[in-house]
Amino acid sequence: MLGSIVDLFRFAVATFVAALVVNIIIGAYAYIYARHLRARAGERKIRDRLTRYARIATGLENRVDARKATAAGAASVLFGTERQEKGLRNRLRELENAPYRFVRMLGAEQFPNKGYEFLVFNSSVSHQVKRGERHPFFDSSWARPCPVHVWARSAEDAVADLERAFPRASGFKIVFSQPLASGPAGTALPQEEISAVEVETAERMEAV
């Protein structure tokens, strides 16, 4: 009985050792064969390529993020500029429709120049405003007489300066003119200057 148990134990140990040896042999063979396959397939090159592609993808992603940030900043600036432009257009429209106009100045307000006031409008602008259109070059305020102050040595020089700045060929017309109450030094204008301007005004109003 004891001999049978010993034989059975020996058989079990032998079987275990044989199985262990077989597993070691199979594992070693599998490891060697796997390394052989990796060497044939160029695993190192593939890993290097994957690493390089990963770096390229990361760089592209960073560039895309940078472009998005730049585009967002540009869009914000553009939106702000458009809002400012809209505000300026609204302000310009309000000024054009306001009952009070800018006083345009010509010449130097210094001695010996004298001041003359003219009311000038543009017939082309007036016609287009009546048709509900806008003039391509001049704003709509010229549809009605606008005050222009001209500083010159005489009334004739004032008219000449005014017509050079606002030529009749462009549609500008003088509907009224008068000397300012006083010159730049505060002295009253001579009576002959006032008469000359009144005569010039009457002639121009008849021509219009």
pLDDT digits (tens, 9 = 90+) for 34-49: 777 666 666 677 777 7
Task: Please indicate, yes or no, if residue 95 is contained in any of the structural domains.
Answer: yes
Considering 80, 100, 120, which residue would you say is the last residue of a domain?
A: 100
Q: Do 200 and 109 share a domain, yes or no?
A: yes
Q: Do 68 and 111 share a domain, yes or no?
A: no
Q: Do 139 and 71 share a domain, yes or no?
A: no
Alpha helices in 114-177 (DSSP H): 123-130, 155-165
Task: Please indicate, yes or no, if residue 180 is contained in any of the structural domains.
Answer: yes
Name the residue range of residue 183's domain: 104-207
Task: Please indicate, yes or no, if residue 34 is contained in any of the structural domains.
Answer: no
Q: Do 123 and 190 share a domain, yes or no?
A: yes
Report the pLDDT averaged over residues 93-112.
Answer: 75
Number of domains in the chain: 2
Measured distance CA(157)–CA(113) in Å, rounded: 10
Q: Do 116 and 148 share a domain, yes or no?
A: yes
* 111 neighbors 184 (Cβ within 8 angstroms): yes
Of 41-50, 151-160, 185-194, give the lowest mean pLDDT range.
Answer: 185-194
Could you give the count of Cα atoms lying within 13 Å of 161 in the half-sphere of its Cβ?
A: 22
Q: Do 111 and 168 share a domain, yes or no?
A: yes
Of 7-11, 126-130, 150-154, 163-167, give the lowest mean pLDDT range.
Answer: 7-11
Q: Give pTM, 2 decimals.
A: 0.41
**Residue 144: in which H helix or E strand, if any?**
none
How much of the chain exceeds pLDDT 90, in percent?
23
